[in-house]
């Protein structure tokens, strides 16, 4: 049974979900359909992934009651201007076949674009909540200074901050800054996008539990209190990644995994202060 996390707006979210980045577009409906059959109820997508339509097809075909599903999408880096936020959000709802979205996040802060103004973008995303078309507004890849600024300027605290985190890049400074504001942390690339799967120490801990490295790594995230949504196109791995709740890591094992942190050298994605890709 996947635990539910309660957020600062009193909404809830399953702590384990399914990621959809880089699933080939022509396979998205099938892969997400399989994930829903396997038992996932929280799906993470984004406008930049180009696969919202496939996610929508899978949701419609699943027959799962809408209130049991938790769907996240993220604002394209090309749509930060407030009018574009509203327009592109409408298109997201249309592609997903939903009349209300559960979570919508600013995908990247882009401090070097749009005159450094991610505050009016944040305000526009929160307006969608006021409109009733979005349940929960959040951010992604926000560094502590970005969080401080949107909160100071609007008084509106994001419910989640989705950031890169895994054993090679624990990202604890941003995790702790988020928590201090009462913001839940979502760890993207929880398996280091596959990089941690050959690690010897993780292999030893996995063998001691009769589990796989993926399961031990995801369990570590769960015990740190973060939300995770590993991506896989394999049905067998979907089931493996869901099976995290019949064992637990000792405090010593958690500490040992913490020691794999390489700081900046372990980062896989771009740094949010300089990332400026716009499609
Ligand atoms: N906000 C952001 O900027 C941002 C950035 C990146 C990702 N994300 C989100 O986070 C999600 C997860 O991150 P991610 O997809 O980058 O990386 P990830 O989940 O850490 O790793 C995915 C890789 O691990 C493999 N894998 C998954 N489960 C496995 C298992 N049990 N055994 C062996 N290999 C396994 C997958 O291969 P197979 O498919 O071949 O199994 C894939 O190559 C994304 O899908 C997306 O929704 C957000």
**Per-residue confidence band for 134, with pLDDT thresholds at 50, 70 and 90:** very high
User: What pLDDT shows up at residue 165?
Assistant: 99
Confidence of residue 269 (pLDDT cuts 50, 70, 90): very high
Q: Give the nearest ligand 1 atom to 230 CA.
A: 19
pLDDT, one tens digit per residue, over 210-254 is 999 999 999 999 999 999 999 999 999 999 999 999 999 999 999
Q: Is the CB of 52 under 6 A from ligand 1?
A: no
Domain presence at residue 16: yes
Q: What is the mean pLDDT of residues 25-46?
A: 98
Residue in 40, 49, 70, 118 annotated catalytic = 49
Asked if residue 171 is part of any domain, the answer here is yes
- Domain hosting residue 178, numbered range: 4-8+11-194+226-233
Ligand 1: atom nearest CA of 234 is: 41
Q: Is the CB of 121 under 6 A from ligand 1?
A: no
Say if residue 15's pLDDT is above 90. Answer: yes
Residue 47 confidence (pLDDT) above 90: yes
pLDDT in tens, 54-79: 999 999 999 999 999 999 999 999 99
pLDDT in the model for residue 73: 99
φ/ψ of 230, rounded to 5, equals -60, 150
Q: How far, in Å, from the CA of 157 to the mean position of ligand 1?
A: 28
Q: Is residue 271 part of a domain?
A: no
Structure letter (DSSP) for residue 244: -
Is residue 174 a part of any domain in this protein? yes
**Residue to substitute in 77, 232, 267 for testing ligand 1 pocket (most ligand atoms within 8 angstroms of CB):** 232
Q: Which atom of ligand 1 is nearest to the CA of 162?
A: 1
Q: Is residue 187 part of a domain?
A: yes
Say if ligand 1 is within 6 A of residue 168 CB.
no
Residue 210 and residue 189: Cα distance in Å, rounded?
23
Q: What pLDDT is recorded for position 183?
A: 99
Whether residue 34 has its Cβ less than 6 Å from ligand 1: no
Structural domains in the chain (count): 1
Please report, for residues 31, 48, 57, 203, the alpha-carbon distance to residue 90 in angstroms, rounded to integers and kept in the order given: 25, 15, 17, 45
242 in any annotated domain:
no
**Protein residue whose Cα sits closest to atom 29 of ligand 1:** 237
pLDDT at 237: 98
CATH of residue 32: 3.20.20.100
Instruction: Give domain status of residue 241, yes or no.
Output: no
The pLDDT of residue 197: 98
Mean pLDDT of all residues in 134-146: 98
| Residue 168: HSE in the Cβ half-sphere, 13 Å Cα cutoff | 18
Which residues of the chain form beta strands (DSSP E)?
4-6, 12-14, 18-19, 42-44, 70-75, 101-106, 134-140, 160-164, 184-188, 227-228
In a domain, 248, yes or no: no
Identify the residue whose C-alpha is closest to ligand 1 atom 26: 232
Q: Would residue 114 show up in a list of annotated catalytic residues for this protein?
A: no
Q: CA 39 to CA 20: how far, in whole Å?
A: 15
Q: Does 90 score more than 90 pLDDT?
A: yes
In terms of phi and psi (left: phi > 0; alpha: psi -120 to 50; beta: otherwise), the region of 24 is: beta
Tell me what pLDDT residue 1 has.
Answer: 87
**Mean pLDDT taken over the chain:** 98
- To test ligand 1's pocket by mutation, which of 18, 20, 21 has the most ligand atoms within 8 angstroms of CB? 21
User: What is the mean pLDDT of the segment spanning 69-93?
Assistant: 98
- What is the predicted pLDDT for the residue at 37? 98
């Amino acid at each position: 049974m996947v635990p539910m996390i309660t957020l600062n707006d009193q909404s809830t979210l399953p702590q384990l979900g399914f990621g959809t980045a880089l699933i080939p577009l022509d396979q998205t409906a099938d892969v997400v359909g399989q994930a829903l059959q396997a038992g996932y109820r929280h799906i993470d997508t984004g406008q930049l992934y180009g696969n919202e339509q496939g996610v929508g097809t899978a949701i419609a075909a699943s027959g799962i009651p809408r209130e049991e599903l938790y769907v996240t999408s993220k604002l394209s880096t090309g749509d930060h201007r407030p009018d574009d936020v509203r327009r592109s959000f409408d298109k997201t709802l249309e592609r997903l076949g939903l009349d209300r979205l559960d979570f919508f996040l600013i995908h990247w802060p882009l401090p070097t674009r749009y005159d450094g103004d991610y505050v009016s973008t944040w305000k526009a995303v929160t307006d969608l909540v006021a409109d009733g078309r979005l349940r929960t507004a959040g951010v992604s890849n926000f560094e502590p200074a970005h969080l401080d600024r949107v909160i100071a300027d609007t008084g509106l605290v994001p419910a989640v901050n989705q950031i890169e985190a895994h054993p090679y890049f624990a990202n604890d400074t941003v995790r702790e800054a988020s928590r201090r504001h009462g913001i839940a942390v979502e760890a993207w690339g929880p398996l280091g996008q596959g990089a941690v799967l050959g690690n010897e120490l993780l292999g030893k801990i996995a063998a001691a539990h009769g589990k796989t490295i993926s399961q031990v790594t995801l369990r570590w995230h769960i015990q740190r209190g973060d939300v995770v949504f590993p991506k896989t196109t394999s049905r067998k791995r979907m089931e493996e990644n869901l099976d995290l709740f019949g064992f637990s890591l000792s405090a010593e094992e958690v500490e040992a995994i913490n020691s794999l942190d390489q700081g900046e050298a372990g980062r896989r994605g771009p740094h949010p202060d300089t990332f400026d890709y716009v499609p």
